[in-house]
Each structure stands twice: as C-alpha cells, then as structure tokens.
Amino acid sequence: MMTLLSPPPSVLSSPQRRCHLLLLLYLPGQTVTPEILARLNGVDDTKALQDIADTGDEIQRYHRLRLITQQDGSYRIEGTSLDRRLCLLHWLRRALRLCPHFVQQQFTPALKTQLKQQGILTALYDEKNLQALIGLCARRLQRQFDSRDVQFLTLFLQYCLHQHHAGITPEFTEQQRAWTQIRPEFVAALEIARHWKRRMLQSANENEQLFLALLFQLLRTPDPIHDNHEQDLRLRSAICGMIARFRELAGMSFSDEQGLSDQLYIHLAQALDRCQFGIGIDNSLPEEITRLYPRLMRTTREAFNDFENHFEMRFSDEEVGLVAVIFGAWLMQENDLHEKQVLLLTGNNIELEQSVEQQLRELTLLPLNIKHLTIHSYQKEGAPKEVVLVITPYSTTLPLYSPPLIHVTLPLGDHQQQQIRKIIEC
C-alpha cells in the first residue's frame, strides 16, 4: 500500500480533492476509505463523504460507473473495463492540470512499483521507450503532442500494461470495433501493439490495439480544413445535409454556411465518438434549452434525424442541446442580433402568465430574455430602457412612455403572432 502524504489543511479545491480520490481508486492494492481520504486531503469526514458522493454521481453520469461500498467500509469502482479506462482517461488528464504534484509524487511511483511487482519487462514500460513510441505514432498520424499529452500518454500506457498483465482487457461491440478499425489511429496503434506483442495473447492484443486506437482518437483535435480521411469527408457531407434541413425547417438562412459547417464539424467529430462509446456530458443543458428555446430545440432535433440515421446512432438530448446552441448562436450572429428583452406584466394568475411566456418562446428560434413586472409597478415606473416589447394577458393603461404593448389572449391569434415576431426578430 502506498504511503499517503497529507497536504496542509484547507488548501485543496473540490475538483483537486476529487481527482485525488479517483486516482486512489485506480491504484492497485490501495484501500480507499473516508478516513484515508480525509487525512490525504486535509478535510473532515463530512467533507470527505461529500467528495465521495459527488464523485460517484459524476462517474455514473459520464461513464456509467458505480462507486461501491465494500464490507470493510472501503470503496471500489464497478463497471466494464472499457468504461473504467475511459473514465481514467478523463480524470488523469484533469489531474495533470489540477494537481500535477499528486500525479508525480504519488500516482506515478505507485504505478511503477506495481509494474515491477507484476514482473513486466522494464523495456515495455520504460518512459523513454514509451515516449519514442508516442513520437512514432504522432508522425504516423501527422500530429504533434504537447508535453502534457506526452506525460499523460506515458502514464496511461503504463496503466494499460498493468491492466492487461492482470488479465483485464476492454471489450468492444461489433459496431464499436468497426468504428475504430476504419480510423487512421488504428494503424498507428499497431506500432505500440507490436512492441508489446511478446507479453500479450494474440486475441487480447487485438482488443488492446483497438483501445489504443480509441485513445489516440479521443485525443484528436478535429481540423475542418486539413482532415481528409474518408470518415471525415462523410461527416462533412452529413453536416451539409443537416444545415440544409435546418434552413428548410426554420425558414431562415445563413450567409456563412461554411463557417457554421466548420464549427459543427469540430463539435460533431467528438460527439460521434462520445455517442459511440457511451461517454456522457453535462445533463443540465437540454432541460434549460427546451424551456427557454423550445422551437430551436425542436427544429434542431428534427434536422438531426437524417444525421442520426446516416450514422446509425441516437444522440442524447444533451448532445442535441449543444448543437442547438451552435445553430442559435449562428442565427444571432447572422442578423447581428442581441438577445431581445421582453417585459411580461404579471397579476394574480401564475398559470396564465406561464402559458403566455411559453407561447412567446414558441414563436421564434431566437433567444428571448423575458422579464416579469407587476402591472402596478409598470404603471408607476414604466418599462426598463432595454425592453423592446411589453406583453400582458391583463387589461392595463399605458404609462406616458412605453415600448409597444400588446394585450394578448390565449391561444395567440395569427395576427398577434405576426406582430410579436416582427418586433422581436427585426
């Protein structure tokens, strides 16, 4: 078991403390309990338990993993080998940014000790040898890795060696296998697989090669100008079709479709990998987008259908929400628009007011900032300067100075819809 060095109390942020926890959970032979974690991170037991709960929620949301309490009170991560490795990929990169000293002083030495104890040939995990292999792969891929990426890859490859020697190899579905094998990263990964071949069974070697290919794939920064692999060209074509479909559904066009296509390419190249391998993203966004921009979200989802069918994947609402944000931002940029401020005058019927607000948001693809003000305050103070339109379901008199005021009844009639849209989209 590694010796835990306690940092001074109260110097670590919550993300740093959770990085420490995750890396401890991945170290073989390391017992992780709330008491050990509290001592390591310089916090009390209550905060340590909260860090454990928060980390458990995060790895479940993003990587389909569970944090299990064992009979002795210690914790372990439960899930597939593939999900576990993808989780470590994310957290180790995060740790190298947030707590590099912990990685250098505790995670790295403990991993090397384990490799020695497993009897793995030193040449296989020697840092200089691994860095030479990483450089060879970079040249094969016509890519450059910065010093932090090289440090990450060296460590991560050592962890993969430890896992494989322990008989823990990730498994892939046929769809995941096909997706990875057609990428140029699969050929580059063969360089490392050849180096390790003597220590691996042939069947397992193929799975390790697939994972190494996926590793390089997930580190890729998509380049819409220079990427010219068959899969990249296929993606560009599908994006052009999606933009055309969005334009048709929205009745609004983009003068710089190339710029929009480039941004969607960068996002969707990574989103396709996340979707294929079940990697989650923040799940708070789509609910907010659906509430604030229902028509934009609905239009994006419909325009997205052919894209999904083309790649035989179903994207989560979270992923579609991010694409909706991109479309919305380009619509705003197209017309040099800012978020329009609308004032909703309120009275004593909350349900009616909520229905009015929802129908307003259904009228346009563009974002609205809808503020609430009581009728009494409006008659006394008027509307704030930035407001372009005042809406109310209640009868009221106009103050001396006011933006256009529309008294609405539900459901909104065609004439009122045209009036409102004309004001907020001009």
247 forms beta bridges with none
β-pair type (387-392, 405-407) = parallel
| Backbone dihedral angles phi then psi of residue 50, each to the nearest 5 degrees | -65, -40
SS3 of the chain: helix, strand, coil, percent, to 5: 65, 5, 30
Rounded to the nearest 10 degrees, the angle between the axes of helix 81-98 and helix 45-63 is 120
Q: Are the beta carbons of 131 and 104 closer than 8 angstroms?
A: no
What pLDDT, on a 0 to 100 scale, did the predictor assign at position 337? 58
What single DSSP character describes residue 370? E
Task: Please give the Cα distance from 349 to 209 (Å, whole number).
Answer: 63
Look at residues 195, 215, 219 and name the one whose alpha carbon lies nearest to residue 126.
195
The two structure tokens encoding residue 76: 């372990």
Q: What is the pLDDT along the chain (426 residues), one digit of tens a residue?
A: 455 555 555 579 999 999 999 999 999 889 999 999 999 999 999 999 999 999 999 999 999 999 999 999 999 999 999 999 999 999 999 999 999 999 999 999 999 999 999 988 888 889 999 999 999 999 999 999 999 999 999 999 999 999 988 989 999 999 999 999 999 999 989 888 877 765 544 444 689 899 999 999 999 999 999 999 999 999 999 999 999 999 999 988 888 899 999 999 999 999 999 999 999 987 677 778 888 889 999 999 999 999 999 999 999 989 999 999 999 889 877 655 567 899 999 999 999 999 999 999 999 888 789 999 999 999 888 898 889 999 999 988 877 778 899 999 899 999 999 999 888 887
| Residue 64 region by backbone torsions, left for phi larger than 0, else alpha for psi between -120 and 50, else beta | left
Task: Please give the Cα distance from 109 to 113 (Å, whole number).
Answer: 6
What pLDDT, on a 0 to 100 scale, did the predictor assign at position 334? 60
* CATH 1.10.1790.10 applies to domain 230-332: yes
What pLDDT, on a 0 to 100 scale, did the predictor assign at position 203? 42
**Single-letter amino acid, residue 25:** L
Alpha helices in 42-171 (DSSP H): 45-63, 81-98, 100-102, 108-117, 122-125, 127-141, 147-165
The two structure tokens encoding residue 172: 């892939």
Question: What's the CATH code, domain 341-425?
Answer: 3.40.50.2300
* Stated length of the chain: 426
| Domain layout of the chain by residue ranges | 119-220, 230-332, 341-425
β-pair type (66-69, 75-78) = antiparallel
Enumerate residues 6+ apart whose C-beta is below 8 A from 170.
Answer: 80, 81, 82, 85, 207, 210, 211
Task: Please give the Cα distance from 373 to 341 (Å, whole number).
Answer: 13
Helix H or strand E segment including 341: strand 340-346
Look at residues 153, 418, 181 and name the one whose alpha carbon lies nearest to residue 276.
181
Task: Please give the Cα distance from 197 to 217 (Å, whole number).
Answer: 21
Rounded to the nearest 10 degrees, the angle between the axes of helix 350-362 and helix 294-311 is 50
Task: Please give the Cα distance from 405 to 300 (Å, whole number).
Answer: 31
**Is 119-220's fold the same as 230-332's?**
yes
What single DSSP character describes residue 197? G
Question: What's the CATH code, domain 119-220?
Answer: 1.10.1790
Rg from Cα positions in the chain: 27
pTM of structure: 0.87
